[in-house]
Homo-oligomer: A and B are copies of this chain.
């Protein structure tokens, strides 16, 4: 594996400089590239294919729960945007605004959508008039723009890809159920596809979405101990509906406002995958989201019979529905190993003259580096089982890491020590924003969420000394 080492010197070691390691992986694994406009990245085929797999999983889940896809305009007139006060205050500082159309000045400038609540509301006001029109369960896949000062690939961009669900319901109960049900689907996306354990919980008022009554989130813990908010769901109550005059005639003939939710995940999830699973050799992809699950490397490929045998194996796996690729390039096996390790392909299949003779091949697991020699008979089943094992191992490893990095704290010093070292400080909180602000000021950590698991371990807020009945997780975050 000498070549391997040579090649991988090209990325920074994870322990040396995590931020630089992250950027190196993004570029060297060919997930993205920079464009000439700051914060607007290019999603290269390998990165975009990961997003397409996430889309496919979620589209299926959304459809099965009765949601429909729509597409709204990418621009919002400034006058419309200004209708909901809290909302506009939250987003106005980071909007991109178009002022010229067809060489003429636009009277009511157009904001490139940072999120589409107001567009959905305007439409809903037109199409909802009776209880028969409810619920409305719409979802949109699109890109949104937020003019950010500091940008990082996938984590914080001026433009990113996402889905935004926007729903309207007859009752508060139903809308609240939707808010939590969609959070559950995001959580299962982590379990089924990304091999990422999320902490689920409710945001504090300080951290909630501009205009929402309640925000819930899934939070992932990165390798460096920082948290990454990876998806949110919002319960809006009737706030927007009142501002946008959305009402319907109930079964009883009364005019009522519906109850609203919205929810979204974005290409930020790709950042999550990189920073939860990656290592010094590059990306490590969970098998079910990996664009290529098995890379076939012919060994001594110039020898007669090797390439045909490798192609035959490749074809058989493809036929069985696996995502397989063969690397027949002129590079040495060592270089190929390193290339595909960098791209995080879960399984490498090596096949050379001796393997062919013995009807075997070698499988190497990207997540652990283990190599095993297996029979070519029943290879599809062997590999399917191996992918399942790899997924399980990756999830469990990330889960252990997460559990090891949640620590109860009873003072600001303890909290600071935990978040400085990396991880979640679990604290009892009085509920006052002043204490939250103070923590931010002293430690740079923010309240990530009030986890659903609310087992109280103390009854005093360590910041102000008052009674505390809320369990909150603080961490430094991306």
A71 to B161, CA, bound (A): 9
Q: Is A88 interfacial (CB 8 A cutoff)?
A: no
For A75, the chain B residues whose CB sits under 8 A away are: 37, 40, 96, 145, 159
Interface string of A67-90 (1 = CB under 8 A from B): 011111111010010000000000
Q: Is A64 interfacial (CB 8 A cutoff)?
A: no
Interface string of A83-109 (1 = CB under 8 A from B): 000000000111111111111000001
With A42-B72, A44-B70, A159-B73 known as contacts, the answer to whether A102 contacts B35 (CB < 8 A) is no
Q: Of A10-18, A45-53, A390-398, A418-426, which binds chain B?
A: A45-53
- Contact status B99-A70, CB under 8 Å: no
Q: How far is the CB of A272 from chain B (nearest CB, A)?
A: 18
A102 to B158, CA, bound (A): 10
- Contact status B95-A112, CB under 8 Å: no
With A98-B97, A145-B74 known as contacts, the answer to whether A52 contacts B35 (CB < 8 A) is no
A98 to B75, CA, bound (A): 11
Residue from B42, B70, B95, B159 within 8 A of A42 (CB atoms) = B70
For A142, the chain B residues whose CB sits under 8 A away are: 143
For A126, the chain B residues whose CB sits under 8 A away are: 33
A45 to B75, CA, bound (A): 19
Complex copy number for this chain? 2
With A93-B103, A99-B100 known as contacts, the answer to whether A74 contacts B40 (CB < 8 A) is yes
A148 to chain B: closest residue by CB: B102
Q: What is the size category of the interface that chain A forms with chain B?
A: 35 or more
- Contact status A97-B95, CB under 8 Å: no
- Contact status A70-B98, CB under 8 Å: no
With A69-B48, A93-B102, A159-B74 known as contacts, the answer to whether A36 contacts B80 (CB < 8 A) is yes
Interface string of A119-153 (1 = CB under 8 A from B): 10011001100001000001000110101110000
Residue from B52, B71, B103 within 8 A of A48 (CB atoms) = B71
A69 to B50, CA, bound (A): 11
Residue from B70, B93, B110 within 8 A of A96 (CB atoms) = B110
Q: Is A240 interfacial (CB 8 A cutoff)?
A: no
Q: How far is the CB of A449 from chain B (nearest CB, A)?
A: 28
Given contacts A42-B70, A42-B71, A74-B143, 4 further A-B contacts (CB under 8 A): A35-B73, A42-B72, A43-B71, A102-B148
Instruction: Spell out A's residues near B (CB within 8 Å).
Output: 33, 35-37, 40-45, 48-49, 51-52, 68-75, 77, 80, 92-103, 109-110, 112, 119, 122-123, 126-127, 132, 138, 142-143, 145, 147-149, 158-159, 161, 329
The 9 nearest A-B residue pairs measured at CB = A40-B73, A45-B68, A43-B71, A102-B147, A97-B100, A101-B147, A98-B98, A35-B73, A99-B99
